Structure 1
């Protein structure tokens, strides 16, 4: 079964914008650079990579974060398997996902490698260096059943003002519960209510410089 259709508009021919949330799926400035700054560097990657390292993500979107992370894993010749679990309530149609990924020529080889999986509606992908799972549905319900805690979180929902469900205190509490000791989280948003909610559930937050037009972003760490 193919992924359901999520209504989109296209800005400048390359950037998908969600009609549901009236928000672009990645930065209008440079989506790949944003992923590197916010999610990879924000979680101190690749320095923390190790065999079995588990990344969990709220908001799969176009799959850009997965492609960029796997590209970094491979470029550093990291041994072992990267585990990547993504939660998505409104999956993008496969054709749209593949089209969106074409905006990043630096990731073309990995995008081409994974495209057949998306076209076939795959929810799990197992490669020699990757174990990926896409969990469809409301993360407020599905996250509780994630069996392995995450070493790093990519909190990549749409803007908290437009997609408040992914930034609710109860969901962020689940994120904290499902974070390994000394695990981290990173997000492009520096909204005060998000930082306070993360702090309240035991993830110590820090506001740091954001990407592009965003002055600040948030990183967080769970104590040992």
Structure 2
């Protein structure tokens, strides 16, 4: 039984948020925190690569679950680590809190984030992370960003439902804002996404996915020949 609210969300199975705008859940039915660790942390080889000054960027902030998974890992390393996420349709703090309640490990460190979010603060610290969430259409905000990322979490809604966030033009912007030998990881293995990332300069590898998903995609930015 699904429960709808007025903010573009539908709640399924109690606390699984689904975007009614895109008809897609915010995280995996097969444990969203485990998915974040498998796809984004392991996919970018972050347990081995994190170090002071490392920069991670993300398309699709959602509930902040990927950020919290990164924070849990980053706290095992010397900080600070920068995290920048781009989000067009931010959830409210109560909505995020409801979703995160399903993940006690992540929820245990979420209070500074939720306190900042409640106040409308989009730059804050979370353990070893210094966080900025950029609100707006990434097709407009990413080209204006002055930063560079060592690793990208590409976590927009399904390419079939939200094609704008997976266009070749936006993948080229991702590459333009990636440090040499920087990486990306994403849950999707859609062919047009892989081709767009490859055309942007990434080597692209299809890997085993999380849970019921057979495949995911990861890659590194190769220097020009």
TM-score tier by shorter-chain length is: over 0.9
Which aligned pairs between 1:40-189 and structure 2 lie closer than 5 A? 40-74=41-75, 76=76, 78-126=77-125, 129-189=128-188
After TM superposition, where is structure 1 displaced by more than 3 Å over at least 4 residues in a row? none
CA distance in 2, matches of 1:103, 1:96: 12
SS at match of 2:50: coil
The aligned counterpart of 2:3 is none
CA distance in 2, matches of 1:169, 1:127: 33
Contact kept? 2:71, 2:126, Cα under 8 Å: no
Following superposition, the deviation at residue 80 of structure 1 comes to 2.1
Contact kept? 2:208, 2:215, Cα under 8 Å: yes
CA distance in 2, matches of 1:26, 1:129: 24
Provide the aligned C-alpha RMSD in A.
Answer: 1.2
Following superposition, the deviation at residue 122 of structure 1 comes to 1.1
Following superposition, the deviation at residue 109 of structure 1 comes to 2.1
CA distance in 1, matches of 2:135, 2:38: 26
- Unpaired segments ≥5 residues, structure 1: none
Contact kept? 1:189, 1:217, Cα under 8 Å: yes
The aligned counterpart of 1:212 is 211
Contact kept? 1:83, 1:130, Cα under 8 Å: yes
CA distance in 2, matches of 1:32, 1:128: 18
TM-score (norm 1): 0.94
CA distance in 1, matches of 2:79, 2:11: 37
- Unpaired segments ≥5 residues, structure 2: 1-5
CA distance in 2, matches of 1:29, 1:88: 23
CA distance in 1, matches of 2:25, 2:192: 22
Structure 1 residues 18, 127: closer, same or farther in 2, change over 3 A? Answer: closer
Contact kept? 1:6, 1:91, Cα under 8 Å: no
TM-score (norm 2): 0.94
CA distance in 1, matches of 2:125, 2:112: 12
For residues 77-121 of structure 1, the C-alpha deviation after alignment (integer angstroms, 9 at most, x for no partner) is: x11201000000111112101111111001222112322111111
The aligned counterpart of 2:15 is 14
